[in-house]
């Protein structure tokens, strides 16, 4: 019970600080808008070409935003030695990981909703019809990205060249998640039923389980730093 | 002990060369360039062996906090990256005359390339942390994530490829293996494993001596 | 309360802590003096179980702090430079957070009482960002009080405080001791904190150069000893 309380208070603290400082939210929102332009300009005015690339672009957008947002997960703890304070708290440290993971999932979900809406409006893509199965793919992909991202963010917070090392470590590990989510999204946008992408969903679910489990088991070793 | 291993390795490699170029028959479709498979396949197998050892060393360190496990993981990681690089390069050389391009997003090459990136990241992480205790700890976590991810990468890439093109014939698992080719492969695989073991023990020894100063 | 034996901390060939041994009974306060770089913070972090010594043994409250750091941590309250405060949370929210993380009871009455004890109840709902250094320090002390710490480890608690602030910390420590608490205060400034100390130790280049009851030492004598001991260490 204390475990759940502790995970919850971490989530509460991060959301509260975010609401007050608004560090992440505004910048990420603006970043999403910029991405819209970036992709459009990179691919040129051909509508069809853009439409065909939407699944990949969507996930590219999430990952880019994720690299920015996730990498900063533990930055708040660097101030005033709070990291040290967390180390001194008794009990299972993985509760901290869980709380941070939940916070990151909330952040990523907000980014995804914004990107999906922006894509739907500006790229004239129908994302509403397959909304429910798409949401499932998004959820599974988000957990996969956040699970490893939170763990690696904790690690790289204490290391030199943090901004470079974090993407270098995270991206190769995320390849399966990227492949799975883009393939599934593509199929769903083409109107295929959920059953057709079941194998991808199973892969994602399995990967998520593995990543979160490893995160829970190894976080205390990362925190000890 | 290491010296004996070294000599055994030389023997093995010579035998492997002989088997690959002398004993094994010329492959019907691809010609002599196919012989690079005797480098390519053992390389990738050795690379996988290396990363299993990284996993073992990582878990061992976190469980016991003994530096020896970390030295194992570090050495295996370095050599693993080496053999992975060798796999990619040899695969690329094989590919050029066979399909006309240096690179193709074939399932195994792609998986291997991803593997390469994961472990280069592992080595980068190690190089950026000075405190040996923190370095061992963080590297162990990344080592575990990287290793556990290998099967996940394998399946995702395989299914992804299946969507786009029928798989190209690169590996011997697709076509029935001529016994001559099979034997040459086996000899080379043993030779490479010996080479790996030799490098590993040398590298770990150097690391141990470095730590003492 | 504390029994440290031959603590050593080496980084490569550099010995930051080089064979420190001492004992401290419950209800006592040890003042740890030393110039910058002497190893005070490192020693304090070892005592807090934040850092593992390379060799040596440490017992805190009867528990082997190296084998079972969690048991020791339950007794320890540390206030380091940073005070462990989140700038964008209010004082009350900070306390609620840390006490929840400790697994303690966060009923509003307890939080109020702790804030009152450090005279921060008036600004309980102000964001810590608006606090002075002294107020942040006091919040840190409220945190360890709330956590029912029995062993206080304070790293340079007087730095950045004015006279009044320093006096306040002194009185706080006296009250804490009166309640049976034990404290180790690392400081490089004289005058402050020494009034409350039962024992004074001087740390130089990782070694305890002196460890005597405070009652035996007049302030001038202490000052003289400090100068000569630290000079001789630096000339090594």
| Res. C195 pLDDT band, cuts 50 70 90 | confident
Q: Which two tokens stand for residue C115?
A: 């804030």
**Nearest residue to A9 via CA among C100, B7, B147, C122:** C100
Nearest to C102 among A16, A79, A90 (CB): A90
- Of C81, C88, C102, Cβ closest to residue A81: C81
Q: How many CB atoms are closer than 10 A to CB B193?
A: 16
Query: C79 has which bridge partners?
Result: C154
Distance from the A17 Cα atom to the nearest Cα atom in chain C, whole angstroms: 6
Instruction: Please tell me the predicted confidence (pLDDT) of residue A215.
Output: 95
A97: contact with B, CB 8 A cutoff: no
Contact between chains at C50 and A84 (C-beta distance less than 8 A)? yes
Report the percentage of chain A scoring pLDDT > 90.
49
Are B121 and A210 in contact (CB < 8 Å)?
Answer: no
Choose which CATH entry (3.40.50.720, 1.10.3470.10, 3.40.50.300, 3.40.50.200) describes domain C2-75+150-234: 3.40.50.300
For chain A, report the end-to-end CA distance as a whole number of angstroms: 27
CB A56 within 8 A of CB A189: no
Contact check, Cβ <8 Å, A87/C101? no
pLDDT for the residue B172: 41
Q: Which residues of C touch A (CB under 8 A)?
A: 48-50, 70, 73-74, 76, 78, 80-89, 93, 96-98, 100-103, 127, 136
Most confidently modeled of A116-130, A206-220, B37-51?
Answer: A206-220
Which residues of C are less than 8 Å from A82 in CB distance? 82, 84-86
The predicted structure's pLDDT at residue A177: 94
Residue C12 has what pLDDT?
A: 72
Residue C232 pLDDT? 65
Report the percent of chain C where pLDDT is more than 70.
95
pLDDT at C221 exceeding the cut of 70: yes
pLDDT for B176 equals 55
If we measure between CA atoms, which residue out of A153, A224, A173, C47 comes closest to residue B61? A224
Both structure tokens of B134: 């923190």
Closest CA to A21 of C91, C89, C82: C89
Q: Is the predicted pLDDT of residue A53 greater than 80, yes or no?
A: yes
- The arithmetic mean of pLDDT across residues B59-88, rounded, is 93
Question: Distance (Å, rounded) from C-alpha B109 to C-alpha A144?
Answer: 24
Using a CB-CB distance cutoff of 8 angstroms, which residues of chain A are in contact with residue C78?
84, 88
Angle between helices B132-164 and B37-64 (to 10 degrees): 140
Q: Do A9 and C76 touch (CB under 8 A)?
A: no
Task: Calculate helix-pair angle for A23-43, A47-71, nearest 10 degrees.
Answer: 150
**Nearest CB to A16; choose among C82, C89, C100:** C89
Query: How many Cβ contacts (< 8 angstroms) between chains A and B?
Result: 86
Phi/psi at C35 (5° precision): -70, 170
C-chain CB neighbours of A6 within 8 Å are 100-101, 103
B149 to A176: CB separation less than 8 angstroms, yes or no: yes
* Interface contact A82-C85, CB threshold 8 A: yes
Calculate the average pLDDT of chain B.
83
Please tell me which residue of chain A has the smallest CA distance to B144.
A214
Q: What is the DSSP string of A168-222?
A: HHHHHHHHHHHHHHHHHHHHHHTT--GGGGHHHHHHHHHHHHHHHHHHHHHHHHH
**Stretch C138-150: mean pLDDT:** 90
Query: Could you tell me if A80 and C89 are in contact, meaning their C-beta atoms sit under 8 angstroms apart?
Result: no
Say what the pLDDT of residue B177 is. 61
The predicted pLDDT at position C212 comes to 80
Q: Measured between alpha carbons, how far is B176 from C126 in angstroms, rounded to an integer?
A: 76
pLDDT in tens, B165-191: 544 444 444 455 667 777 778 888 888
If you average pLDDT over residues A29-37, what whole number do you get? 89
d(CA C172, CA C169): 5
Q: What is the mean pLDDT of residues A36-58?
A: 87
How many CB atoms lie under 10 A from the CB of residue C190? 13
What pLDDT, on the 0 to 100 scale, is given for residue B171? 45
Phi, psi (degrees; rounded to nearest 5) at C150: -105, -20
Specify the DSSP class assigned to residue B31.
B
Rounded-to-integer distance, Cα C111 and Cα C93, Å: 9
pLDDT tens, B126-137? 999 888 888 999
Among A214-223, C174-183, C226-235, which stretch is predicted with the lowest mean pLDDT?
A: C226-235
Grade residue C193 by pLDDT with cuts at 50, 70 and 90.
low
Q: How confident is the model at residue C226 (pLDDT cuts 50, 70, 90)?
A: confident
DSSP, collapsed to helix, strand or coil, labels residue B27 as: strand
Q: Take residue C24 and report the two structure tokens written for it.
A: 């401290």
- B134–chain A Cβ distance below 8 A for any pair: yes
What pLDDT is recorded for position A43? Answer: 87
Its pTM stands at 0.88
pLDDT value at B26 more than 80: no
**What is the interface pTM, i.e. ipTM, of the complex?**
0.89
Q: Residue B173 carries which DSSP code?
A: T
Of A6, A21, A82, the CB nearest to C84: A82
Strand partners, C74: none
**C-alpha span between A129 and A132 (Å, rounded):** 8
* Minimum Cα–Cα distance from C74: chain A residue: A90
pLDDT at C167 over 50: yes
Most confident of A15-29, C12-26, C174-188: C174-188
Q: Where are the domains of chain C?
A: 2-75+150-234, 85-148
Q: Which of residues 117-176 of A touch B (CB under 8 A)?
A: 148, 151-152, 155, 158-161, 165, 168-169, 171-173, 175-176
For A167-180, the pLDDT digits (tens) are: 999 999 999 999 99
Interface probe for A, chosen from B81, B120, B142, B154 (most Cβ of A below 10 Å), is B142
Query: What percent of chain C has a predicted confidence (pLDDT) above 90?
Result: 16
What is the model's pLDDT at position B173? 46
The values of phi and psi at residue B176, to 5°, are -60, 140
Residues in chain C with CB shorter than 8 Å from the CB of A84 are 50, 78, 80, 82, 84
């Amino acid at each position: 019970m204390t475990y759940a309380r502790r995970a919850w208070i971490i989530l509460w603290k991060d959301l509260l600080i975010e609401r007050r400082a608004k560090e992440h939210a505004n910048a990420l929102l603006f970043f999403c808008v910029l991405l819209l332009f970036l992709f459009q300009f990179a691919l040129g005015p051909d509508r069809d070409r853009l439409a065909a690339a939407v699944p990949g672009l969507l996930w590219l957008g999430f990952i880019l935003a994720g690299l920015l947002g996730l990498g900063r997960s533990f930055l708040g703890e660097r101030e005033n030695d709070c990291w040290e304070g967390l180390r001194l708290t008794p009990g299972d440290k993985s509760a901290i990981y869980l709380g941070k993971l939940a916070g990151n999932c909330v952040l990523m979900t907000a980014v995804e909703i914004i990107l999906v809406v922006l894509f739907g409006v500006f790229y004239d893509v129908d994302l509403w019809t397959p909304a429910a199965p798409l949401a499932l793919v998004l959820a599974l992909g988000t957990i996969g990205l956040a699970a490893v991202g939170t763990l690696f963010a904790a690690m790289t917070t204490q290391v030199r060249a943090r901004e470079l090392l974090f993407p270098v470590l995270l991206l190769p590990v995320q390849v399966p998640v990227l492949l799975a989510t883009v393939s599934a999204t593509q199929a769903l946008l083409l109107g295929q039923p959920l059953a057709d992408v079941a194998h991808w969903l199973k892969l994602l679910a399995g990967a998520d389980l593995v990543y979160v489990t490893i995160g829970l088991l190894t976080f205390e070793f990362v925190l000890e730093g | 002990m290491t010296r004996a291993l070294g000599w055994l390795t030389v023997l093995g490699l010579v035998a492997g060369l002989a088997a690959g170029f002398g004993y094994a028959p010329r492959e019907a479709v691809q010609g002599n360039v196919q012989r690079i498979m005797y480098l390519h396949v053992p390389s990738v197998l050795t690379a996988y062996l290396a990363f299993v050892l990284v996993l073992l060393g990582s878990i061992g360190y976190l469980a016991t906090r003994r530096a020896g496990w970390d030295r194992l993981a570090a050495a295996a990681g370095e050599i693993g990256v080496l053999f992975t690089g060798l796999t990619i390069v040899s695969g690329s050389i094989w590919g050029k005359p066979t399909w006309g391009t240096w690179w193709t997003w074939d399932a195994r090459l792609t998986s291997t390339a991803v593997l390469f990136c994961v472990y280069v990241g592992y080595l980068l992480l190690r190089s950026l942390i000075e405190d040996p205790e923190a370095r061992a700890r963080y590297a162990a976590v990344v080592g575990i994530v990287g290793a556990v991810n290998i099967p996940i990468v394998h399946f995702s890439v395989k299914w992804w490829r299946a969507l786009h093109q029928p798989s190209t014939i690169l590996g011997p698992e697709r076509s029935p293996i001529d016994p001559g080719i099979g034997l040459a492969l086996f000899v080379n695989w043993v030779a490479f494993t010996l080479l790996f073991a030799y490098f590993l023990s040398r590298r770990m020894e150097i690391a141990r001596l470095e730590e003492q100063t | 309360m504390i029994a440290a034996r031959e603590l050593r901390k080496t980084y490569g060939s550099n010995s930051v802590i080089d064979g420190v041994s001492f004992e401290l009974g419950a209800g006592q306060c040890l003042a740890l003096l030393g110039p910058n770089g002497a190893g005070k913070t490192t020693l304090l972090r070892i005592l807090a179980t934040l850092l593992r010594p390379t060799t040596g043994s440490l017992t805190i409250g009867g528990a082997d702090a190296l084998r079972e750091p969690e048991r020791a941590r339950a007794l320890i309250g540390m206030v380091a430079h940073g005070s462990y405060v989140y700038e964008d949370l209010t004082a009350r929210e900070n306390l609620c957070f840390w006490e929840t993380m400790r697994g303690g009871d966060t009923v509003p009455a307890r939080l109020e009482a702790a804030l009152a004890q450090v005279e921060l109840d008036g600004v309980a709902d102000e964001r810590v960002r608006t606090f002075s250094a002294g107020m942040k320090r006091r919040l840190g002390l409220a945190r360890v009080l709330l956590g029912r710490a029995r062993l206080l480890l304070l790293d340079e608690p007087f730095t950045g405080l004015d006279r009044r602030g320093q006096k306040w910390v002194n009185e706080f420590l006296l009250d804490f001791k009166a309640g049976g608490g034990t404290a180790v205060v690392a400081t490089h400034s004289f005058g402050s904190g020494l009034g409350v100390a039962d024992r004074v130790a001087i740390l130089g280049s990782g070694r305890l150069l002196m460890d005597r009851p405070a009652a035996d030492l007049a302030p001038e004598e202490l000052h003289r000893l400090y100068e000569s001991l630290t000079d001789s260490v630096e000339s090594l």
